[in-house]
Amino acid sequence: MLSKNQIKRIQSLARKKGRRDEGCFIAEGNKLVEDTCEAFDCELLLATHRWVEAHPARPDRPVQEVTEQEMAKVSQLTTPSDVLAVYRIPRYRLDVEAMRHELVLALDTVQDPGNLGTIVRLADWFGIRHIVCSPETADLYNPKVVQATMGALSRVRLYYTPLAEFLGAMERASVYGTFLDGTDIYHTPLSNHGVIVMGNEGSGISPELEPYIGTRLYIPNYPAGQPTSESLNVAVAAAITCAEFRRRQIM
């Protein structure tokens, strides 16, 4: 049985302040927990009797059995799952020197949890292991973001730091950004490594970051010149951009 203090503590992890104070976050659902349990330090694993029966006990993963009613009290899902994990938030060191030799994403105030989760997932798909975020970017450990990553947060590391400082430490020529007045991405030389900057959903890349961007990229609409949407969703734009970078590497 869950105590009132346990319930209150787990519920607090839905809020950024609670996660900061406790140093923990939650992951819910069988697939998500299975995909992340080896990557993070699990402080508490809650499961219903149905889940416990279907999953053999493991000495390295003690389970606290709860009722469906108790799970509903701590779940952040519309339909509570049969398993919920409380993980310690990991601390990663930002190694700029190592990143000079990789393809890295930088997110400038991407605030929608669904967009952030989707970008983490596509980074995982395209083999991008590091995402550097401005402090104003949505919190990776927000339950909505965690859910949207579909387990990819166990393989992609995120860092929160002022982007101007980070980009300033990188070589300007290897920093790319997406703009409506950039050059056609399909006819622009692209490096095998560097930083791809994606901007805010409404205002794009911050003016203070533009001086650090060596190549301004544009994703053209089709057919050219035809009236179309004002811009692409940031997660969609990130997917197209990452796909083009990776396509060049295998040509």
Could you tell me the pTM of the whole model?
Answer: 0.93
Contacts of 203 (CB under 8 A, 6+ apart): 109
223 prior amide bond cis, ω within 30: yes
User: Residue 32 in 3-state DSSP?
Assistant: helix
pLDDT digits (tens, 9 = 90+) for 156-173: 999 999 999 999 998 776
pLDDT, tens digit, 9 for 90 and up, residues 53-109: 998 877 777 899 999 999 999 999 999 999 999 999 999 999 999 899 999 999 999
Q: How far apart are CA 28 and CA 15, in angstroms?
A: 16
